Amino acid sequence: MTHRGNPGPVHRLKLVTLLFALSPELLFLGAAVKLQDNGYDGLLVAINPRVPENLNLITNMKEMITEASFYLFNATKRRVFFRNIQILIPATWTAHNYSKVKQESYEKANVIVTEQNGVHGDDPYTLQHRGCGKEGKYIHFTPSFLLNDELAAGYGSRGRVFVHEWAHLRWGVFDEYNHDKPFYMNGRNEIQVTRCSSDITGVFVCEKGLCPQEGCIISKLFREGCTFLYNSTQNATGSIMFMQSLSSVVEFCNASTHNREAPNLQNQVCSLRSTWDVITGSSDLNHSLPMSGVELPPPPTFSLMQAGDKVLCLVMDVSRKMAEADRLLRLQQAAELYLMQVVEVHTFVGIVTFDSKGAIRAQLQQINSADDRKLLVSYLPTTASTEEGVDTCAGIKRGFEVIEKRNGRADGSVMILVTSGADEHINNCLLTAMSSGSTIHSIALGSSAVRKLEELSHLTGGLKFFIPDESNPNRMTEAFSRISSGTGDIFQQSLQLESVCETVQPQHQLLNSVTVDSAVGNDTIFVVMWQTSGPPEIILLDPSGRKYNTSDFVINLAFRTAIIQFPGTAKPGHWTYILNNTHRSPQALKVTVASRASSLAVSPATVEAFAERDSTYFPQPVIIYANVRKGLYPILNATVVATVEPEAGDPIVLQLLDNGAGADVIKRDGIYSRYFFSFAVSGRYSLTVHVHHSPSISTLDHSVPGSHAMYVPGYIANDNIQMNAPKKTGHRGVEEQWGFSRVSSGGSFSVLGVPAGPHPDMFPPCKITDLEAIKAEEDVILSWTAPGENFDQGQATSYEIRMSKNLQSIRDNFNNAILVNTSELNPQQAGTREIFTFSLKLVTSELEHEPDGKMQENHVVYVAMRAVDQNSLKSDVSNIALVSLSVSQNSAPALSRDELILKGVLVAVGLIAMVCLIIVAAHCTLNRKKRALKKDNVTKLL
């Protein structure tokens, strides 16, 4: 190995180990952004390889983040800014002396740039899958947003938009507007537009121009063709999470400006807390004092990097332990599939084995053909060693020797490390691996594999997998299939469509079918694997009825596999396979099917399975996620099943849901989730997710979910309407005729501190987050999703519902709010939609005698609830729902001061024809307004 010597001082190694022990999330894959001395370092921006080369993207991205840094610094009251930014240039772009990629990849990026082509057009957005105060997955920008300056009229300057999205991503705050509920009735019986702060002013606009409020509100419904336009000149300074495009907006809503009544996600998910309250509660601001003085921080520096050749080395344990529990056989079968199908073309691949010492079996060879793949398969180990000793570092050292023969360094390379050995000396190569520039994915076989193995993956940004000996024999192939090149080019990646394993009795058969949907089909491969004796009798039928037999498969008796690959594009539809066990003993028969995208025109369905954290301490649960998408768009109504396998004990099966309740934060966003708390033992747990979807017109949601930056349709300037260009929308996808199926390994996580033997119930019902309330005559109708006996599973025992006319009182002192009689309300199974109706007359007298004022002064009441299980464990208090008391179904709302002023404006405007002329004139002044907006932003920034 070149450039390597002593791994470093012992105290540095202890520091790394201590950091991991104290906070595994510090080293979580993709969480590379660090805050030091008020500056963020390591922010990774990645451009998708399918984006056409355009150097202006890089220029505008630099300008956007530079502006954002100063805007963020002021908005956080001199606390944080952006210091160092990494921009990952696609390998498909021309090389311009960029730095070489080390452990960075598209999948780890905090910000991605890729096409969207959907209903929301060029909306910037952040994909948030966790609760309030939790980091999101990524920020997304389209190339058009970064290149088209005209979009600034609707979104505001790019730097302001970036700060809006950064707050979503980093601090877990949510949007303060609501397209689905654009207005609400406040506590003073006034119709208000959903906004924060409520000091932001504007007027209603109808199809024919300015109009009175009552012209837009009919029976509490928003009349079609109406909108609310904000004044371009404001005094309000907040909020960035509502409308960052207003020049006066320079801060987040705080306790004094926050509109707690607005029916938006921020109030719902964050329990009425202001965005600034959530942000200041984050570790970022807790550990960052405001910078002294009046000087601005330095502008951020940018590092441009580009991936070189794809270089990969398999480093595999062949010690005597690999002969146990069919470990070597499963490794051979999984590695064969990986080399024959999963590894992308043009990748350089080497093979190393190790026991007490390392050995090079194959130097780097580039995959350009099927023959290259077969040659590499021939170098896989065929037998286990007789040596019991395991020296993992010796194998890693040999792996680096193979990798570095390419260009003298390991930067940007990938290593797949598979071992079952108990090697306590992995510490000796931790720092070497971390500084190598290589990403190490680890696969631990059996419970004897040393715990420090995962640290290699943590420190290098790799994935980690655990394969229990008693697990489904296909878990190894699923783990290998999850490991991709990391370029973000889904059209080149292999997708696993099927993974089935069953023990078949003698003279019995395994009969099943798999769907090859129209979005895949290229390089389709069927792999049949068996456990003992010879191959089963194989029959495969394609959708047209054509039959393939055992003789059509390529048999590898040493690895006990039979493979058939279909050149070109396989026929879409249902493929049926039949495996007949013709032998005298039962044996486990396995089928794996994989394929690639059939066309660059249609994105295939993908599944990304993952756990919320790498490790947890009993009794804290782990949330299991599956991100199910077609390109960027969520796939709805799928059947998503997670299987969690502990080191010892039976696997646990969970159906993941996308219903906006329990562990699931946002409904219909394509991220399916569930709490996992069935901890049998301390140790590693392995995660696999299977997704199935039948043909349906509701398969795909053409609206990208997430927290979007608001596009403003227009403004009121000097009593004139100035409309922005309508927001462009993309094309809709093609509905899938055949349905689809996918399989994804979610790696592994660890659970510590599980007590031996039976343990008491420590799991309460989960918090209700989707409580809604409406008034119907003298009744209040509540609806919500039922929690469970334990988090979001099972059936709670009872509900506790309380009311108050004081919002802060019910939030901060729930136990003293007025109790609603729920004696006849029996909870249903978790995930069921609950509806409960009660009469306001029963609580009116108590409301009137609340100590916080007279009821007639407040025309709304607030309702919240919690669930109770059989052991009297209570959930957290739900989100708070608002109920309007005094407005009848058809009455016009009282006009606020803004609406009275509006009547004067209408008189001054006069005839409708005059309004039409104003609208025409607005188009002529559009460019002048854009220039003025840009100049105003620069002035405000300085």
Model confidence at 913, in pLDDT bands (50, 70, 90)? Answer: very low
Residue-level pLDDT at 922: 42
Query: What contacts 116, CB < 8 A, 6 or more positions away?
Result: 122, 123, 140, 142, 632, 704, 730
Report pLDDT for 937: 40
Q: 738 by DSSP, 3-state: which?
A: coil
Please state, in angstroms and rounded to a whole number, the distance separating the CA atoms of residues 786 and 778.
Answer: 25
Domain final position from 486, 514, 537: 486
Question: What is residue 649's predicted lDDT score, i.e. its pLDDT?
Answer: 87
Domain boundary among 461, 486, 511: 486
Q: What's the confidence (pLDDT) of residue 888?
A: 40
So what's the pLDDT on residue 728? Answer: 72
Answer whether 879's CB lies under 8 Å from 768's CB. Answer: yes
- Give 302's strand partners: 85
Please indicate, yes or no, whether residues 295 and 416 belong to a single structural domain of this protein: no
Tally of helices (H runs) and strands (E runs) in the chain? 20, 49
Reply yes or no: is the peptide bond before residue 292 cis, omega within 30 of 0: no
Q: What is the DSSP string of 143-176?
A: HHHHH-GGGHHHH--HHHHHHHHHHHHHH----S
Of the pLDDT bands very low, low, confident and very high (cuts 50, 70, 90), residue 222 is: low
Q: Examine the domain organization and report whether 162 and 229 are in the same domain.
A: yes
Are 198 and 316 in the same domain? Answer: no
Q: CATH number of the domain at 842, please.
A: 2.60.40.10
Mean pLDDT, rounded, for 189-202: 87
- Cα separation, 913 vs 925, in Å, equals 19
pLDDT average, residue stretch 166-188: 90
Flag whether pLDDT at 667 surpasses 70. Answer: yes
Distance, in Å, from the CA atom of 632 to the CA atom of 703, rounded to the nearest integer, reads 9
Same domain, 325 and 283: no
Extract the tokens encoding 739.
Answer: 């349905």
How far apart are the C-alpha atoms of 124 and 145, rounded to whole Å? Answer: 8
Expressed as residue numbers, the domain containing 469 is 309-486
Structure tokens at 570: 């396989």
Mean pLDDT value of segment 334-361? 97
Is 273 found in the same domain as 334?
no
- Asked if residue 855 has pLDDT above 50, the reply is no
SS (H, E, C) 399-461: HHHHHHCCCCCCCCCEEEEEECCCCCCHHHHHHHHHCCCCEEEEEEECCCCCCCHHHHHHHHC
**Catalytic (active site) residue 190:** no
pLDDT at 738: 81
**Mean pLDDT over residues 737-757, rounded?**
92
pLDDT above 70 coverage of the chain, percent: 85
| Residue-level pLDDT at 700 | 63
Task: Tell me the mean pLDDT in the region 710-736.
Answer: 78
Average pLDDT value over all residues in the chain: 86
pLDDT confidence of residue 895: 33
* 156, 135: one domain: yes
Asked whether the predicted pLDDT for residue 14 surpasses 70, the reply is: no
pLDDT confidence tier of residue 330, bands split at 50, 70 and 90:
very high
CB neighbourhood size of 575 (10 A): 22
Predicted TM-score (pTM) of this structure:
0.89
- Please list the residues that pair with 592 across neighbouring strands: 499, 527
Identify whether residues 288 and 347 lie together within a single domain: no
Q: Would you say residue 326 lies in a domain?
A: yes
Instruction: Summarize pLDDT for 84-139 with one digit per residue, the tens.
Output: 999 999 999 999 999 999 999 999 999 999 987 655 578 899 999 999 999 999 99
- Which of 428, 457, 486 delimits the end of a domain? 486
Residue 938: predicted pLDDT: 34
Spatial contact of 497 and 553, defined as CB atoms under 8 Å apart: no
pLDDT tens per residue across span 364-410: 999 999 999 999 999 999 999 999 899 999 999 999 999 999 989 99
The answer to the question of residue 762 being in a domain is: no
Calculate mean pLDDT across residues 869-876: 96
Top mean pLDDT of 160-174, 523-537, 830-844, 909-923 is at: 160-174
pLDDT tens, position by position, 543-570 = 999 999 999 999 999 999 999 999 999 9
- % of the chain beyond a pLDDT of 90: 69
Q: In this structure, how many other beta carbons lie within 10 angstroms of the beta carbon of residue 18? A: 10
In a domain, residue 629? The reply is no
Place 699 in a pLDDT band, splitting at 50, 70 and 90. low
Write down the pLDDT at residue 223. 65
- pLDDT value, residue 840: 83
Distance CA(593)–CA(627), nearest Å, equals 21
The total number of structural domains in the chain stands at: 3
Q: How far apart are CA 184 and CA 217, in angstroms?
A: 11
- In the structure encoding, which two tokens stand for residue 648, read together? 């010892």
Q: Does residue 409 sit within a domain?
A: yes
Element (H, E) at 65: helix 55-75
In a domain, 516, yes or no: no
Task: Give me the CATH number covering residue 400.
Answer: 3.40.50.410
The yes-or-no verdict on residue 30 having pLDDT over 50 is no
Is residue 192 in a domain?
Answer: yes
Same domain, 302 and 327: no
Q: How sure is the predictor about 837, in pLDDT bands with cuts at 50, 70 and 90?
A: very high
272 and 366 belong to one structural domain: no
Confidence of residue 696 (pLDDT cuts 50, 70, 90): low
- Gyration radius (Cα) of the chain, Å: 30
Half-sphere exposure (Cβ direction) of 139: Cα atoms closer than 13 Å = 22
149 and 273 share a domain? yes
Q: Which amino acid is at 371?
A: D
Residue 700 lies in a domain: no
In the predicted structure, residue 588 carries a pLDDT above the cut 90: yes
What do you get for the CA distance between the two ends of the chain, in Å? 52
pLDDT digits (tens, 9 = 90+) for 490-546: 999 999 999 999 999 999 999 999 999 999 999 999 999 998 878 999 999 999 999
pLDDT of residue 87: 98
Per-residue pLDDT reduced to its tens digit, 137-152:
999 999 999 999 999 9
Q: What is the mean pLDDT of residues 644-669?
A: 93
Let me know whether 294 and 351 are in one domain: no
Return d(Cα 176, Cα 195) in angstroms, integer. Answer: 6
| Domain assignment of residue 163, yes or no | yes
DSSP characters over 247-297: TT--B---TTT--TTS-SHHHHHTTT--HHHHHHTSHHHHT-PPPSSSPPP
Q: How many CB atoms lie within 10 A of CB 717?
A: 16
Encode pLDDT of 292-302 as tens digits: 999 999 999 99
Choice among 67, 104, 107, 165 that is catalytic = 165
In terms of domains, do 454 and 444 share one?
yes
Give the residue among 410, 416, 310, 405 at the shortest CA–CA distance from 367.
310
Angle at 472 (CA atoms; ends 469, 476), nearest 5 degrees? 75
Confidence at residue 424, expressed as pLDDT on a 0 to 100 scale: 82
